[in-house]
A and B are shown apart, each in its own frame.
Chain A
């Protein structure tokens, strides 16, 4: 009977599911959906593929395969210094970087004292970690360490004296100087920026006006102008005979500049605090400074941390501008390398190295800032 064939009892074990048809899943479907869904999309895909083909292989060829990585034997033996002519013509000349890496990193800082630089930056890294990523119960200690102890300690380490060989700031240079400028900028500009932001939100009209003028004027002019002004005008502003070190002048200018931007970031954080927090604090009988210190700023600063890190990334890139007032930061140290007759013509490789170093620093900082943003997401924002 036909009925019997229909009513055959189902077999005991279930057959394995068939894979979905290739038209809806798998690499082919993915490509159809993502790359070739419409004529315009096909054209865009083709254009992108062509662009990648035109850029990536030649770049790899130049930077890796055709590049010169090792010194020729007579240089290794020590018969003559390395030079640009040791490099293969069609590729990057990383010999330049290898030969001068010490100078790029430490400038003219004397060789036997370089451990001091490394040590002070390790201290700085620990301080930053304690402030941003470390356990919450150590935040207060980290803040005191980073904003008070670390600057004094590292100034002693870098500058010398009190038992260490003194190293004048003229010998500071390279990546170390870049980090010094960036770290001094952040350590000094954060407190100053908070003060400016509080001043801008103040009810006292004169304080408010003063802070608005400072912030807006500094933000309205380019950094190089501020640095130029600090470099040329600061000696004029001080009593005759008082000589200020070039590095100190530049630090004054950059700190003032970053403070104005920091103030705006902190102001954003302050504005995000609901009015109830201020009113609650006042109802508890707290005065202005206690209210700010205990209630408002801890919340506002936490919201502003990603903005502060972003400002710092921007400032880190802007430290390259000190080369325009004659300081030998990382970029200027690399540029100074081209003036050596042995290395004429190596500019492209040098700038490529600069770009890679800055990229690694800034990219990792921006990823860290994104991570912090997710971590600190405590519900003040709407979405």
Chain B
């Protein structure tokens, strides 16, 4: 024992160096760093060697090249002469468009189904359960392919399209709807909308102050609807409705005018929203169930009506439970839009794939795509974390 405690350094530190926890930690980390460095060097040198053999240069110059391929749907004007960079931008916008629409639709549908699943109505809750169990146990890709075939095959062709009151037309080329064309005085209506929102915010502030001071309540919801919807409507009516609706009309082999929701985008939106809604419904159900029954009973005992109990007591508390898993569902939506490649919707994944085939620049193309998705993930997580902090329980 004495020999061990009398170490070479003289004082109490007495263990052999490889038994010292701190030194071992350091050693392990040095080994890890060395292994990573070796792996990276191995990968990098092999990649450079392979690219040299293939004759493919590295660099982002290919983004300027003319693409030579067209895409079927784009928010920004593109044609065959557009550069690859521009097409990738179009693909990014297409992905973002589909993501945004699907997030909104699946949230609405998911909350609805989740609440219906908790309904005391036997038929309704069973129907909601059947929906959730049927949808979430079938792969999304199968569902998307199914919807695509269903829309393209089962919808009639353009000439026999389903006519909804001469306004909306459904056919296998997509859904055609009227397009609003703003006229001269339309800016006044926009000003009225902005003023309406400002008035609604002001009223809300005033009503809150008054309720805190006197306890009197004010119907804020009705006031807000009046200010935001009716006021601009009135302005628009006085100005003689400065919006004209451009109706789609059948000319030749296709519809002209109006806005069109193409079958690919329609499939993606329908399929992805229905799929994600099943998961969101389960999250919502779990969140509401997690609120103890005592909360509801206490609210009733205080004399709150059921609707107010739900709005003021149950929902704010369950949102805290719902939001974190909801965030990962939104991230899933963004990631799952890549399946659009299977139904020929030109999202970023399919455009990067085509670009990769055309230019052979694997490293750069894949880096752009992964960078884009990491950025989207970061932004959505950041936003939802911010929202989560806002609704979090303020504790001591």
Contacts of A355 in B (CB 8 A): 138, 142-143, 146
B108 to chain A, nearest CB (A): 17
Q: Does B50 contact A (CB under 8 A)?
A: yes
How many residues of A are in contact with the other chain, CB < 8 A? 56
- Give complex CA distance A318, B331 in Å: 16
Q: Does B25 contact A (CB under 8 A)?
A: yes
Q: Does B339 contact A (CB under 8 A)?
A: yes
- Give complex CA distance A222, B335 in Å: 5
Once A and B bind, how many residue pairs between them come within 8 Å at the CB atom?
153
A346 to chain B, nearest CB (A): 10
Q: Check if B362 sits within 8 Å of A317, measured CB to CB.
A: no
Q: Check if A49 sits within 8 Å of B366, measured CB to CB.
A: no
Q: Does A133 contact B (CB under 8 A)?
A: no
CB-contacts of A38-59 with B (<8 A): 41, 44-45, 48-49, 51-52
Contact check: which of A37, A219, A236, A351 meets B46 at CB < 8 Å?
A: A236
Q: Mark A200-213, 1 if CB is under 8 A from B, else 0.
A: 00011111001000
Contact check: which of A35, A222, A347, A351 meets B122 at CB < 8 Å?
A: A35
Contact check: which of B43, B53, B138, B145 meets A362 at CB < 8 Å?
A: B138
CB-contacts of A1-53 with B (<8 A): 33-35, 37, 41, 44-45, 48-49, 51-52
Q: Mark A219-242, 1 if CB is under 8 A from B, else 0.
A: 111111100110011011111100
**With A41-B121, A48-B123 as contacts: A221 and B141 at CB distance below 8 Å:** no
Q: Check if A236 sits within 8 Å of B28, measured CB to CB.
A: no
How many residues of B are in contact with the other chain, CB < 8 A? 56
Contacts of A49 in B (CB 8 A): 123
Q: Check if B369 sits within 8 Å of A237, measured CB to CB.
A: no
Contacts of B33 in A (CB 8 A): 206
Task: Give 5 A-B contacts (CB < 8 Å), ordered by A residue.
Answer: A217-B370, A220-B377, A239-B46, A331-B145, A358-B142
Select from chain B the residue with minimum beta-carbon distance to A46: B123
Q: Check if A359 sits within 8 Å of B134, measured CB to CB.
A: yes
Select from chain A the residue with minimum beta-carbon distance to B362: A232
Secondary structure call for the A interface: helix
- Give complex CA distance A363, B129 in Å: 13
- Give complex CA distance A87, B349 in Å: 38
- Give complex CA distance A202, B157 in Å: 61
Q: Check if A220 sits within 8 Å of B373, measured CB to CB.
A: yes
**With A34-B122, A203-B25 as contacts: A232 and B356 at CB distance below 8 Å:** yes
- Give complex CA distance A348, B148 in Å: 10
Q: Does A352 contact B (CB under 8 A)?
A: yes
Secondary structure call for the B interface: helix
Contacts of B149 in A (CB 8 A): 347-348, 351
Contacts of A48 in B (CB 8 A): 121, 123-124, 127
Contacts of B123 in A (CB 8 A): 34-35, 44-45, 48-49, 52
CB-contacts of B112-166 with A (<8 A): 119-124, 127, 133-134, 136-143, 145-146, 149-150, 153-154
A263 to chain B, nearest CB (A): 15
Contacts of A232 in B (CB 8 A): 356, 362, 366
CB-contacts of B216-249 with A (<8 A): none
One of A149-157, A294-302, A320-328 contacting the partner:
A320-328
Q: Check if B141 sits within 8 Å of A323, measured CB to CB.
A: yes
Contacts of B36 in A (CB 8 A): 210
Q: Does A83 contact B (CB under 8 A)?
A: no
B220 to chain A, nearest CB (A): 24
Contact check: which of B25, B47, B138, B153 meets A348 at CB < 8 Å?
A: B153
Q: Check if B362 sits within 8 Å of A358, measured CB to CB.
A: no
Q: Check if B121 sits within 8 Å of A224, measured CB to CB.
A: no
**With A34-B121, A37-B120 as contacts: A225 and B29 at CB distance below 8 Å:** no
Select from chain B the residue with minimum beta-carbon distance to A205: B29
CB-contacts of B12-51 with A (<8 A): 25, 28-29, 32-33, 36, 42-43, 46-47, 49-51
- Give complex CA distance A33, B122 in Å: 9
